[in-house]
Structure 1
Amino acid sequence: MAPTHTRQWLPYTAAVTAGLVVITGAFVLVRQQETDTERSRDCAVKLEVNSSTEKSALLGELAEQYNTSDRSLDGGGCAQVHVSGLTSGKAAEALAAGWTGTNLPVPQVWLPTSSLWTGQLRLLDQAAGRAPQTPDNYPSIANSPLVIAMPKPKGELVRQRGPVGWGEVLGLSGRQGWASFGKPEWGRFTFGKDNPNLSTSGLAATIATYYAAVQRSSDLTRSDLTNPAVTQFVRRIEANVSHYSDDVVDLLRDLAEADLAGGGASTDDMSAIVMQEELVHLYNEGELSPKQDGEDRGRRPNVPLVAVHPKEGTFNLDHPFVVLPTADERQRVAAADFLEFLTEDDQQRKFGNLGFRDHEHRAPKELLASVGPEPSGGLNYFEPPDPAVVEAMLDGWGTLRKKANILIALDTSGSMEKSVGDKTRFQVASAAATKGLALLNSEDRVGLWSFSSETSKRPEGPYREEVRLGDFDQKRINSRIAGLHVEGSTALYATVRAAHRHLLDRYDPERINAVVVLTDGKNEYNRDNDLARLLADVALDPDRPVKVFCIAFDRDSNFATLDQIAKASSGKAFDATDPTKIDEAFVKLVSSF
């Protein structure tokens, strides 16, 4: 059923077809994986395969192996398989739009991360009044269950309790923190998850939370979503989110860097991360650690992660093999043969090396040795909900997610007058901020500062409160931004320090507390030019976390320094040094809240 409105919180770059693409998955196209075109035999059947990005490199290697094998198709002849990579959400959007704008070959086979995407594509086709491209259930080529990943000492302590549920791990410990597990010195309990509008694992985590709330493993309904007991359960879990990530892989890379730099002691406030099991394995193997020149992988972390499996069950990312209507009869024969090839033992072992379970859900012993054993009775899997229920779930998630205190510091230094095409930097940045702010929740609290240096219009100091931190009033903030005067130098350090202190003084433990800095330059304020002192001042306090998020705008920005500032506070810096990427950066930034 087509919705009657477009969600206000949906990233506008993906709000197509009346808002039915509920998850963008990513905004960046990955490069096409090339297979060997120098064939020892001439194959008449050409098969184009599009894969989700986390497995596209492996699929490209396996396609090359398939192409150089001596396999023959039923009915004679052979096939040549070519693999391209595109994130699942972007591919679903492209398939709904006739595969325009991708610069990739039209696929006959689609390998998304989860069958959730085939359901969403069915909704898009239904809304457009056309025959569904993905009407069926599809076989898996690999599987990866959702787990609660925790540093080994914490994960082992939780496991000692015996079977624990989603609510017991993620929902009940918040304020009391680790004291409820006999470890008050570990402080408060918060966890990380991806925003479900941007990530398959984030969406899967939200679905799993709802299933845990209704205490069933199938047949989730719209009426379940509005049950007060269910919404209370989901709200309690969301209340313990540290902040929402746009990409859990980036979060894990930061965690690995902090682990190796600190000998295993991270200053991050997150006690757990909800993510795919495969990523726990890759993290523990050093695949996500910083790499030295010439190394294939980084060092293994000092403190590995372990996977905790909630007792109610979990959601599985099933990596379906979808043959599309674009395939002709011979391509369908080739697709069946390529599927058979992928599910053979030798190829399945290669999936296992990346941390996947096989196409029948079996875990390699090396995987369990890396992430920890599964429950003695095996894993219980939740059934994918009806696509319309998933859509309704995401419609309601905006009201249940953790709310935020956000102080925006907007650079108004003279360099913002420089041209970007036919506009100034300030005009481009202001437009992006206006669009990005439209994605916030009406229950968030937002304030606005401007900063440059002391000027004739602002002699009292380098920064000024334009809109007091309070109930989100987008019209007022937009109006103040439009009236700002651009002049002076960039007092970056003084402003970040003051904004961080301002939020600490107004800290709300029920909200995500964050400073957002948008700047086109580097610090040019000699009265406060000590980066080391700033990093110490904004360093994360796990008991009262105030995180700094930065957008580096235009090529004059010192992204490396902004990244240091963000990481010190356990926040994140977004690279928009190419000004055409600023809208995308704002969407990702706002999705952290």
Structure 2
Amino acid sequence: MSGHDDVPDWAPRSARDSGGFDTPHVFLGASDPGGVPDRRRTPPPEAGEPFDAFRRPEPAARPPGPAHAAARPGRRALPGGRPPRRVGGVLLGPLAGAVGLVLLTGAAAYAFGAVGGGCSGDDAVTLDVAAAPDIAPAVIRAASRFDDAGHEVDGHCARARVRAVEPAAVATLLSGKGVVSEVAERPDVWIPDSSLWTELAGSGRGGADAAFTTLGSAASTPIVPAMPRGLAVQLRNLGAPEQPSWTELLAAAGTASNADEDPAAGTGDGVIPPHLFRLQVPDPDRSATGMGTLMLAGALLDGAPGGEARFAGVVRAIREGVAVSVKAEFDAFDPAVGRDKADRYPVALVPEQALFAYNARRSDAPLTAVYPAEGTVFLDHPVTVLAADRAKAAAAGLLWKALSDTAALDDVQRLGFRTPGGAAPAAFSARTGLDPRAPRALPAPPAAEVRRTMQSWAQLSLSIRMLSIIDVSGSMDRQVAPGVTRLQSTVRTAQGGLSLLPDDSELGQWIFSTELAGDRDWRELVSVGPLGQRLGSATRRQRMLSAFAQIRVKKRGDTGLYDTVMAAFDYMKRTYKPEYVNSILLWTDGRNEDRNGPSLAQTLDHIRREYDPERPVLINMFGNGDDVDVNELRQIARLTRGDAYVAETPGQVQALFLKALSQRVSP
């Protein structure tokens, strides 16, 4: 999804429209040497208007007086009787996300049926072109030139009808996920902002749409972090490199607004202070920029130690700062919004082209692009042929030539795009916060990786509802490292896991041994509910931290495992909430020792009978120590599509916990 509409409309429609040396200067972009246009001569665009770099500025009103009192003739029309026209209006409708791709109640769309060279009639070969709104103005101009050229295919004239449509809407249609009113029929040519959309759309029907033919890229723009210039200066003063790493940036963005430490955020030992940023990312279900951010994180963390857990942390950061569109990201830079309660600066991941457009309009408060050292993901705007008809496919090939000629490349650069080869517009400079040097492009992920990553996002971005249960039997007092007992190691890991969960997650805490409350083997410390909910004078998160600090071993207590598991499973099923991942995390250092409780066979039979795939409750178990019967734990957990993990050191406990948290949704 393009989603940005903070854009200038001062530039002329083409170079030849600029006139000769005696023509008044017209502002051409963010870094025009002439500076910002006089606002008295060129009124700013209305809020919500799309980027239209080809609109003529309105003439300045002439002052009253004798020299202008006489009536003047009207402006002459352009050749062919056409008055100067505005190109590129767009109407953004409401969007609604869906798991996997997106289901939409409306989509951005506008149509231009430019017909030139006398091409008309029912026998004309008419191409229906759906273009992403950010590049649509340039595509419309190329289509107009294409029409005027009088192309013929099989003895029939060829023409193109261009509509600006959100890529998510077309992808939804092609994947079979739904039908949007503005895109009720499959277009002949599709130009989304990224090949990520074509990868997803082509997988929607078991490969039935694998016949998509991509002719090439119409334009490119990298995904970059955008920040206020004051923040960029502050980072330089701290000693941050000109091209900081993504790891440093994500660690500074933080994935734990409610804790001082986040196991998924990396070491945090760089020159950039932790939790300095408030990260803004457009919704990956609706935006190629959001999808590209996930692909970038996956590529950088692939094969790295703790990669899965750190990816879960990145998802957490994205989820906390998700925006409905790129425009909404830019709204966060409004001085009226400012820094958040945690005193963090907004930093947005945006297309470089959108940043160019924003700076052209907001020259009073420009932003700076950061180009990370590892490189980034590019939005490549692929020209994709969907038509099965041979004549239309041939016409699409001719249109592709119009989209890749010099005039078209000039048009996309004037919109703030780079050429497919990475050449930047002349307006890019250090003064405008944009580097003309192309950043390194990370390799495009294969279709299978795109699908896997988006499935992980769909799972990990769901809110979680979890009951944590910690073993406090006597053996938990044994040391696993100098000065560290099994219970202390477990509690520290649980505290770290708490920092990974946002405030809308629901969490509760039990402890268990034998006969903790009369004949009952378990006891509730904190009820299950939203972490941000206030319970008296403190939030549930604070109550959890307080409970962790007060947990103590029951001397001579045994392990009442089976009775506790059955009670916890029944409770979570009874209070099940479908909008959450409902799960149990049980921590123990041994095997069941309650002779008066149920047997393993009785426990397995109970869970097998009570498990409801329509109301699934996931059980994960963590064994700490050499007394754990992993086979026993695994038999119970796998009945719910969960698993058991065993570790012998504090570091292994933490690593396995983070791995389980990142895989908390059953297939």
How far apart, CA to CA, are the structure 1 residues paired with 2:404 and 2:536? 53
Structure 2 match to 1:56: 136
Structure 2 match to 1:79: 158
Given the alignment of the two structures, is residue 279 of structure 1 paired with residue 354 of structure 2, yes or no? yes
From 130, 136, 151, the counterpart of 2:228: 151
Equivalent runs, 1:306-317 vs 2, <5 Å: 306-317=368-379
SS of equivalent to 2:291: helix
CA 1:252/1:96 → structure 2, altered by over 3 Å: closer, same or farther? closer
SS of equivalent to 2:308: helix
Report deviation, 1:309: 1.3
CA 1:270/1:501 → structure 2, altered by over 3 Å: closer, same or farther? farther
Report deviation, 1:321: 0.5
Structure 1 match to 2:425: 364
Structure 2 match to 1:32: 110
Report deviation, 1:393: 1.7
Paired residues of 2:132 and 2:165 also in contact (CA < 8 A):
yes
Paired residues of 2:126 and 2:392 also in contact (CA < 8 A):
yes
Equivalent runs, 1:2-151 vs 2, <5 Å: 22-24=100-102, 27-37=105-115, 40-42=118-120, 44-67=124-147, 69-73=148-152, 78-97=157-176, 101-104=180-183, 106-126=186-206, 130=208, 132-134=210-212, 136-151=213-228
| Offset from partner CA, 1:226-256 (integer Å, 9 cap, x none) | x762123324444545833342334245235
Paired residues of 1:190 and 1:241 also in contact (CA < 8 A):
no
More helix by share: 1
CA RMSD of aligned residues (A): 4.2
Q: Which runs of 5+ in 1 are unaligned?
A: 1-11, 215-223, 287-299, 406-440, 448-467, 474-498, 510-593
How far apart, CA to CA, are the structure 1 residues paired with 2:171 and 2:319? 30
| Offset from partner CA, 1:150-191 (integer Å, 9 cap, x none) | 1112234446524321111112563599x978787x973331
Paired residues of 1:171 and 1:236 also in contact (CA < 8 A):
no
Paired residues of 1:313 and 1:381 also in contact (CA < 8 A):
yes
Report deviation, 1:103: 4.9
Query: 2:398 is matched by which residue type in structure 1?
Result: D
Query: 1:116 is matched by which residue type in structure 2?
Result: L
Query: 1:102 is matched by which residue type in structure 2?
Result: S
Given the alignment of the two structures, is residue 506 of structure 1 paired with residue 539 of structure 2, yes or no? yes
Structure 1 match to 2:635: none
Equivalent runs, 1:257-336 vs 2, <5 Å: 258-259=334-335, 269-286=344-361, 300-326=362-388, 328-336=389-397
Report deviation, 1:100: 5.2
How far apart, CA to CA, are the structure 1 residues paired with 2:194 and 2:163? 17
How far apart, CA to CA, are the structure 2 residues paired with 1:194 and 1:504? 35
Paired residues of 2:281 and 2:329 also in contact (CA < 8 A):
no
CA 1:254/1:98 → structure 2, altered by over 3 Å: closer, same or farther? closer
Query: 1:278 is matched by which residue type in structure 2?
Result: Q
TM-score by length of 2: 0.49
Given the alignment of the two structures, is residue 355 of structure 1 paired with residue 355 of structure 2, yes or no? no
CA 1:143/1:348 → structure 2, altered by over 3 Å: closer, same or farther? same
How far apart, CA to CA, are the structure 2 residues paired with 1:155 and 1:354? 25
| Offset from partner CA, 1:310-353 (integer Å, 9 cap, x none) | 11111111110011143x22222221121111112222222122
Paired residues of 1:27 and 1:90 also in contact (CA < 8 A):
no
Structure 1 match to 2:439: 379
Q: Which runs of 5+ in 2 are unaligned?
A: 1-94, 255-259, 466-500, 508-525, 543-667
Structure 1 match to 2:448: 388
Structure 2 match to 1:339: 400
CA 1:102/1:60 → structure 2, altered by over 3 Å: closer, same or farther? farther
Query: 1:191 is matched by which residue type in structure 2?
Result: L
Structure 2 match to 1:203: 291
TM-score by length of 1: 0.55
How far apart, CA to CA, are the structure 2 residues paired with 1:93 and 1:255? 29
Query: 1:307 is matched by which residue type in structure 2?
Result: A
How far apart, CA to CA, are the structure 1 residues paired with 2:226 and 2:398? 36
Report deviation, 1:56: 2.9
Paired residues of 1:170 and 1:190 also in contact (CA < 8 A):
no
Paired residues of 1:26 and 1:198 also in contact (CA < 8 A):
no
Paired residues of 2:133 and 2:166 also in contact (CA < 8 A):
yes
Paired residues of 1:190 and 1:242 also in contact (CA < 8 A):
no
How far apart, CA to CA, are the structure 1 residues paired with 2:289 and 2:153? 38
How far apart, CA to CA, are the structure 1 residues paired with 2:249 and 2:541? 22
Query: 2:365 is matched by which residue type in structure 1?
Result: V
Query: 2:161 is matched by which residue type in structure 1?
Result: H
CA 1:502/1:340 → structure 2, altered by over 3 Å: closer, same or farther? farther
How far apart, CA to CA, are the structure 2 residues paired with 1:233 and 1:95? 33
Report deviation, 1:45: 1.8
Q: Which has the higher contact order (CA 8 A, sep 6+)?
A: 1
How far apart, CA to CA, are the structure 1 residues paired with 2:536 and 2:419? 48
Paired residues of 2:109 and 2:166 also in contact (CA < 8 A):
no
Identity %: 22
